[in-house]
Amino acid sequence: MKQLAYLGHTALISFKARLAAMQIRHLFLVRGNASYVTCGAEAVLTPIFNELGIDVVEYKEFSSNPKIEEAQLGLAKFMGSQADCIVAVGGGSVMDMAKLIRYYAAEQGNRTTLLALPTTAGTGAEATHFAVVYIDGKKQSIEADDILPDMAFVYPPFTYGNNAYLTACTGFDALAQAIEAFWNKNATPESDEYALKAISYIHHQLPQCVHNSTNILRDELAIGAYWAGRAINITKTTAPHAFSYAFTSKCGYPHGHAVALIFPFFAELNLKNTEKEKVLRWILHIGNEISLQTYFLQYIRGIGLDYRGVGSCQLVDVLNEVNLQRLANNPVVVNRNTIQELCEFVNSL
């Protein structure tokens, strides 16, 4: 699985050049609803499509947590569009929907080129070969070569208008992905390289960006999110993501916020007294006088990702709906006692 990537302020120049080189005449655009306009994508992409004489069919009628029925509707619309390629412009849900449509179309013998332009700095979905879809209310992850976008165009200005809370949620998701890739059972020298690169772009920059955003900081977050995606594309995610999904589906937490609630507990459990703990402490400038659990608890609170309860649900029931696929990648075995300790930790937040 190989992908071409164009990162930074020249990404749109490359995007236009690629469309022209491929002689695209009909394009299927999977996009966010209001976000496509507010992030500035419409203002800069419409002139490109017009100049190249490209007919655009849009699909935007789907949930923030894509459902299988919505993916099937999108597939039907794509199959009837005569499109030469699919372009995804949006956050993680848009990326997932576009990847699902391409995947299901490929299963029917119609594999087309997929170009991804993220508008949030967080999910790294533009760089991964898996996509999330909700089937009968449960979050499922599909993994296949046909899900990886052929090209990623990371244009940071699309993220400049993101508010502080969205920045915190997506940014922490990217940071968690990078660190989870680093401690992962499936880690390789290549994934470690990508993970550490991502951490260097995100860790110190995220709190600054939440509280006193600058374009330079947002540029770094966007690049870091891409490298975090590259890292988990090799390793996949671990326990913080595995336990986070039900917080989103049952309790309404945005994905990155849900991951943040779980992360401090596993930072301590997975890294304590390991060589990688020493490396991470050195990179993050964390002294030995503070535990990793305390450090990351302070970190998530500092960017506004506090625990807000689980509504009418029982916390232990939420935690018991863990994603076993992602849990299998965790370096420490999780058992019933671990879940009870995690429950006590979350209750104490």
pLDDT bin (cut points 50, 70, 90) of residue 100 is: very high
pLDDT at residue number 321: 86
DSSP code, position 114? E
- Of 23 and 132, the structure prediction assigns the larger pLDDT to 23
Average per-residue pLDDT in the chain?
Answer: 95
* DSSP string for 184-252: -TT--HHHHHHHHHHHHHHTTHHHHHHHS--HHHHHHHHHHHHHHHHHHHHH---HHHHHHHHHHHTT-
pLDDT at residue number 188: 98
Which segment, 4-8, 133-137, 320-324, is predicted with the most confidence on average? 4-8
pLDDT at residue number 72: 97
Angle at 299 (CA atoms; ends 195, 245), nearest 5 degrees: 65
pLDDT of 139 above 90:
no
Main-chain phi, psi angles of 89, to 5 degrees = -130, 105
Tens of pLDDT along 296-329?
A: 999 999 999 999 999 888 999 999 888 888 899 9
Lowest mean pLDDT among 35-44, 94-103, 131-140, 196-205: 131-140
pLDDT at residue number 326: 86
| CB contact at 8 A, 130 and 96 | no
pLDDT bin (cut points 50, 70, 90) of residue 170 is: very high
Which helix (H) or strand (E) covers residue 37, if one does? helix 34-38
pLDDT of 243 above 90:
yes
- Domain layout of the chain by residue ranges: 4-159, 164-348
pLDDT at residue number 129: 96
Tens of pLDDT along 50-92?
A: 999 999 999 999 988 899 999 999 999 999 999 999 999 999 9
Q: Identify the architecture of domain 4-159 in CATH.
A: 3-Layer(aba) Sandwich (3.40)
pLDDT bin (cut points 50, 70, 90) of residue 332 is: very high
- Of 282 and 313, the structure prediction assigns the larger pLDDT to 282
pLDDT at residue number 199: 98
Q: What is the mean pLDDT of residues 5-34?
A: 97
pLDDT at residue number 1: 66
**Which CATH homologous superfamily contains domain 164-348?**
Dehydroquinate synthase-like - alpha domain (1.20.1090.10)
Residues above pLDDT 70, as percent of the chain: 100
| CB contact at 8 A, 141 and 130 | yes
What CA–CA distance (Å, rounded) separates 313 from 54? 49
